[in-house]
Amino acid sequence: ILYAMVKSIVLILLLFNGDIVLKELKFDGNMVECGAYADKLRVELTHFNEEKNIHFLKNNKGTWQGYFCKDNYEGGTTIKRKTK
């Protein structure tokens, strides 16, 4: 399963307004490569706050919550609005 091919990576971001953003990017590779690419993106897009133990987005809009890899590509960004 580690070398199963994937077609996209989905970044899970939590915005400070409470919205959850699922940002899907095209990716052709296997699961191991997908994890390595996710680590690269995390380093590029965030800075780590050791005191709070969290990765803040460099654009100051929220935090990095994780990622997952998929075997298909649906495209785009999904925003889950905070319920009130």
pTM metric for this prediction: 0.90
Residue owning tokens 């969290």: 54
pLDDT, residue 45, reads 98
Q: What confidence tens digit (pLDDT) does each residue in 7-59 have?
A: 999 999 999 999 999 999 999 999 999 999 999 999 999 999 999 999 999 99
pLDDT of residue 79: 82
Instruction: Give the three-class secondary structure for 82.
Output: coil
Which residues are paired to 5 by β-bridges?
A: 30
**CB-based contact 9:24 (threshold 8 Å):** yes
CA gap 84, 65 in Å, rounded: 21
